Amino acid sequence: MSAFFVPLPCKKTKYKNGRRMVSEITIGQTLIVFFGIFFGFGTGFLRFQLMQRSKNYREILLCTTVFIMTWHFVVYFLIVSKLILHFPYLYNKGIPMYYLIAPSLYFYVKYSLYPTSQLPKLAYLHLLPALFGLIDTIPYLFASADEQQHLLKIVVNNMSEGFSHSLGFIDQKWHYQLRYLLAFIYFGAQCHLIFQFENDTLEQKKHVRRIYFLTLIYGIHLIFQGSIVVNVLLNKIHSSFILSDAERLTNVGLAFIIFGAGLFFQTLLLFSKIKGTRSCMGRTESSCAKQE
């Protein structure tokens, strides 16, 4: 793991139109990556602990979302830093998982606002895109080690090849297009659930504010990531430079830190609330009120 956090040396820094390409990872970018991974996996771990303490099993949906998004960030860093050449078995494995981010977050919000809602009879249909992605990873999975290394050497030097390589049943750009199209559809449905919810009590209002905050930071992250994909697909000539631009790694890292840190500190507040509730057990309401 130490390789993640040490600046990587290079012989020459590349430029395109006056902009530095990621031929080296600076100390600042190393710190951004470190904090992004820390807040991502840290939030997932805390949410899992929160689920165990509160017996709120819908938290597993949010854990799934956070862990997959963190994995996506890690793989992106491995590619731009060329460390993926040392871990070829990690490449392409996240495709089916990435399809689960949007539906997992949608159902988390749904069952947070409407805990008595029943699981739809056709709920398994939400897994079909992930199954489609899983099937498309088979050619790379069964490719020889030489074929995998050959592909990765091409991808790390021309990242646009990640959108169009041949070790898959379909052109890889369709995964990006379908995934973000579905993500925005789920996000719209998620916003509809929030605006439709009636928050009459003070506790409900506090709960909805937490869902508002989660939806806001996820929406910012989704728009930012979606804009990168659209920019790459529409600008095929400079797509590789768009993805490997040094500022792009910094911006992606900062966007992920905003998402991860927001959820991290929100989770810490929820922990303190559970602790405060337990400390009031067996005491009078007046003494608890004075403590608060």
Predicted local confidence at residue 245, as pLDDT = 61
Burial, 55: exposed, middle or buried (Cβ in 10 Å; 0-12, 13-18, 19+)?
A: exposed
pTM: 0.79
The alpha carbon of 196 is separated from its chain's Cα centroid by a whole number of angstroms, namely 26
Q: How many domains does the chain have?
A: 1
| Residue 38 domain flag | yes
| Residue 143 domain flag | yes
Predicted local confidence at residue 210, as pLDDT = 85
Is residue 182 within 8 A of residue 129, CB to CB? The reply is yes
| Residue 36 domain flag | yes
Predicted local confidence at residue 281, as pLDDT = 42
Task: Indicate which CATH number applies to the domain containing 209.
Answer: 1.20.1070
Domain that holds residue 28: 20-115+125-272
| Residue 49 domain flag | yes
Predicted local confidence at residue 242, as pLDDT = 54
| Residue 279 domain flag | no
Burial, 58: exposed, middle or buried (Cβ in 10 Å; 0-12, 13-18, 19+)?
A: middle
In the chain, alpha helices (H): 27-54, 59-80, 95-98, 101-113, 128-136, 138-141, 145-157, 173-196, 202-234, 239-244, 246-279, 285-291
Predicted local confidence at residue 160, as pLDDT = 72
Predicted local confidence at residue 192, as pLDDT = 93
Predicted local confidence at residue 173, as pLDDT = 83
Q: What are the 10-residue block averages of pLDDT along the chain, 292 residues in total? A: 38 45 70 90 88 82 91 88 90 92 94 86 91 92 90 84 76 86 94 83 74 89 80 62 64 83 85 60 44 41
Predicted local confidence at residue 107, as pLDDT = 94
Angle 173-196/202-234 helices, nearest 10 degrees? 160
| Residue 284 domain flag | no
| Residue 285 domain flag | no
Residues 6 or more apart in contact with residue 242 via CB below 8 angstroms = 228, 231, 232, 235, 248
Q: Which of 260, 265, 275 is nearest to 71 (CA)?
A: 260
| Residue 7 domain flag | no
